[in-house]
């Protein structure tokens, strides 16, 4: 599996409006903590489901994440320097858990769900950017990540701007 494969899947999901379908599905669940739990499960397993659509990124994400970890970098999971280990839950899942603890009893917030999903996709783009050097043309691979990032932050997005380009995403990974 390559970063190009991951970008292809993300491009397809963004172009087809799949992101909105996942948000619509989760937003129908009550209370907000249940909607967040649905999104958490999808982020933790890298499998997103909504009526009539499934986006299964498990194999792609796991392969790219393991390749990156073998090189000593951690994109999706935080490194606990005191315990000298990678934290079990991904960074995006930890942020989602924070939202559950603070806002889980509130009414469903579709905007918050959209930001969390976009945040997850940003981390996948950071992972793809880290693997760009595996591509035959690394600068072209980074440009592709940038285009997908722009699409992610464009029409139909949560409205949250995370980064301007792939190079900014490369600041996210941690070295163990």
One digit per residue, the tens of pLDDT, for the chain of length 176 reads: 899 999 999 999 999 999 999 999 999 999 999 999 999 999 999 999 999 999 999 999 999 999 999 998 999 998 888 888 888 999 999 999 999 999 999 999 999 999 999 999 999 999 999 999 999 999 999 999 999 999 999 999 999 999 999 999 999 877 66
Picking from 93, 66, 90, 67, the residue whose alpha carbon sits closest to that of residue 79 is: 90
pLDDT of residue 80: 81
Whole-angstrom distance, CA of residue 64 vs CA of residue 31: 35
For residue 59, being part of any structural domain is answered with yes
For residue 175, being part of any structural domain is answered with no
For residue 75, being part of any structural domain is answered with yes
Q: Which residues form the domain of 61?
A: 3-170
For residue 176, being part of any structural domain is answered with no
Q: Helix H segments across 2-57?
A: 3-15, 18-27, 32-45
pLDDT of residue 175: 67
- Structural domain total, the chain: 1
pLDDT of residue 1: 83
**Residue whose structure tokens are 């909504």:** 50
Are the C-beta atoms of residues 117 and 23 closer than 8 Å to each other? yes
For residue 160, being part of any structural domain is answered with yes
């Amino acid at each position: 599996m390559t970063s190009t494969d991951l970008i292809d899947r993300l491009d397809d999901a963004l172009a087809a409006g799949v992101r909105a379908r996942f948000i619509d599905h989760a937003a129908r669940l009550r209370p907000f903590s249940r909607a967040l739990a649905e999104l958490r499960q999808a982020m933790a397993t890298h499998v997103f489901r909504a009526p009539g659509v499934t986006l299964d990124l498990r194999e792609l994400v796991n392969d790219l994440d393991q390749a990156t970890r073998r090189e000593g970098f951690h994109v999706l999971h935080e490194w606990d320097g005191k315990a000298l280990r990678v934290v079990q839950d991904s960074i995006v899942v930890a942020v989602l858990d924070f939202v559950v603890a603070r806002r889980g009893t509130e009414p469903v917030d579709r905007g918050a769900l959209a930001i969390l999903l976009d945040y997850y996709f940003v981390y996948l783009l950071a992972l793809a950017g880290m693997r760009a050097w595996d591509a035959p043309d690394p600068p072209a691979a980074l440009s592709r990540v940038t285009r997908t990032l722009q699409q992610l932050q464009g029409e139909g997005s949560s409205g949250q701007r995370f980064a301007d380009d792939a190079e900014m995403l490369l600041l996210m990974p941690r070295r163990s």
